[in-house]
Amino acid sequence: MHRRRFIVLVFATAWLGLAQPGSAQGTIAYYRPDTPIIMFTHGFAQYYPLDLDGNGTPELTFSYSFQFLGVRYEAQNRVLSEMLPFPSQSGVPQPLPAGFLVGATSESGGLRWFAGIPGADYDTDFYGLAICVSSGCGGNFLGQHAYMGVEFERGGALHYGWVLLNVASHYPSGTIEAWAWETQPGVPILAGVVPEPSAWALLGAGGLLFWWYGRRKRRG
């Protein structure tokens, strides 16, 4: 009986080392702040620059006010967007479900990589996540807890990442909960993917299991 339990523990430890489908990827950088970044105000526009790769230069800038929650793409970075009907040249960020493949091949139907309208006024070149006017509120991200797909340049190469947003259903406000990006240039990333457990974490989990097994054995 003890031998059988030992074998089960060994396999349980090995299972901890397996990357669960759609939940872990070995070459990504991931960040989740201790508390979500709140984008909310009753007044005029405020801004939050988001530096995805931590190099001191923001890839995105969020803007929020009592009427509008939107995002600007810095340095011609791009976001997966729903393109508006012709003759419009614009698009709006599209919420993505967990597991969506974010990469060069993500475009399909009306979904396109969009960097903003060339020559647009930098100070007003924001694309709506949620908009509220006297007649009501709208926007693709309104009431959504979903991912934004991002393509950005780093060191002359393209990288792909995601940002997890939680947007209110009745007001142009929301939170940035987490983000991640693939450190290998040109390699796609799954929305919501997190890094694989580190070797130290696995060793710690395995040691705990073996300690538990030894303790049970001594009691038996």
Determine the pLDDT at residue 18.
36
Paired with 60 in beta bridges are: 50, 73
pTM over 0.75: yes
Q: Average pLDDT, whole number, for the chain? A: 84
Q: What are the average pLDDT values for consecutive 10-residue runs of the chain, which has 220 residues?
A: 42 38 71 98 97 97 97 96 82 97 96 86 83 95 98 97 97 98 97 74 50 55
Quick one: tokens of 60? 């995105």
CB 194 within 8 A of CB 29: no
Burial class (CB in 10 A: 0-12, 13-18, 19+), 123: exposed
CB 88 within 8 A of CB 166: no
CB 16 within 8 A of CB 202: yes
Determine the pLDDT at residue 6.
39
Determine the pLDDT at residue 210.
52
pLDDT tens for each residue of 62-118 = 999 999 999 999 999 999 999 988 767 789 999 999 999 999 999 999 899 999 887
Provide CB contacts within 8 A for 14, sequence distance 6+: none
Determine the pLDDT at residue 26.
75
